[in-house]
Structure 1
């Protein structure tokens, strides 16, 4: 099963150092039965894109949390795509997040298939979205528009051997 794990660049650096994504439990996003039922007309590629998009939204929140904790993090969403056994993922029942799964164990980097990261041109919009998150959560429509604007940027695909280059300052 392909699982999309929200991340940040500092968290990715920590994972590389540790040799795994963790600690468990981890929240990820995947093509779940609830997602298939909800998006009945979608093929596998479309469903995986939905799961990737959900993980990118979660990455934006992780980035905001890092910033709130004083962690210097570049304003780029990061999603790690990993292959895990289907039995390793517990599917949630939250209708708001039909693609959400929980993983009870850390994910070894050997299971990582690719990394998806915002390109540099997305940085101003991601920065604005991070700043707008608190107001968006309180119902401000303009702030929601700004946060949603981050999704206008497609995440770039990188092979696992490119991760060290992505982590260079």
Structure 2
């Protein structure tokens, strides 16, 4: 099963060093039965894009949480795509996040298929979205617009052998 895991550049660097994404349990996003039912007309590629987008939203929240804890990280959303055994992933029941899955064990870096990350040009909009998250969560429509604006940026695709290059940018 292909899962999309929200991440940040520092967390990805730690995973590379450790040789795995973890510790478990992990939250990821995938094409779940609930997502298929909700998005009845979509093909697999469209459904995977929805899961990737939800993981990117979660990455934005990870950036905000890290900054609140004093972790310096580039304002770039990071999503790791990996293959996991279906038995390792349990679909959640949250209707707001139909693609959410819980992964019961760490994911070896050898199971990573690709990494998706914001382009440098997205950084100002991602910075603004991170700053606007608290107000957006409290119902501020302008802040929600700013947060949603982050999704206007497509994530770039990187092969696994390119991961070390991401830490210099």
Shorter-chain TM-score bucket reads over 0.9
3-state secondary structure, aligned to 1:114: strand
Equivalence for 2:147: 147
Report the TM-score, using the length of structure 1 for normalisation: 0.99
Equivalence for 1:94: 94
Equivalence for 1:14: 14
> Deviations along 1:18-59, whole A, 9 cap, x unmatched?
000001000000000000000000000000000000000000
Written as runs of structure 1 = structure 2, the 5 A alignment for 1:111-130 is 111-130=111-130
> Deviations along 1:98-154, whole A, 9 cap, x unmatched?
000000100000000000000001000000000000000000000000000000000
Equivalence for 2:32: 32
What is the rounded CA distance, in whole Å, between the counterparts of 1:168 and 1:20 in structure 2? 20
Report the TM-score, using the length of structure 2 for normalisation: 0.99
Deviating beyond 6 angstroms after TM superposition, the runs of 4 or more aligned structure 1 residues are none
What is the rounded CA distance, in whole Å, between the counterparts of 1:168 and 1:145 in structure 2? 31
What is the rounded CA distance, in whole Å, between the counterparts of 2:86 and 2:25 in structure 1? 15
Long gaps (5+) in structure 1? none
3-state secondary structure, aligned to 2:46: helix
What is the rounded CA distance, in whole Å, between the counterparts of 2:72 and 2:145 in structure 1? 25
Pairwise CA RMSD: 0.6
What is the rounded CA distance, in whole Å, between the counterparts of 1:56 and 1:119 in structure 2? 13
3-state secondary structure, aligned to 1:3: strand
3-state secondary structure, aligned to 2:80: strand
> Deviations along 1:70-97, whole A, 9 cap, x unmatched?
1110000000000011111001111111
What is the rounded CA distance, in whole Å, between the counterparts of 1:91 and 1:130 in structure 2? 27
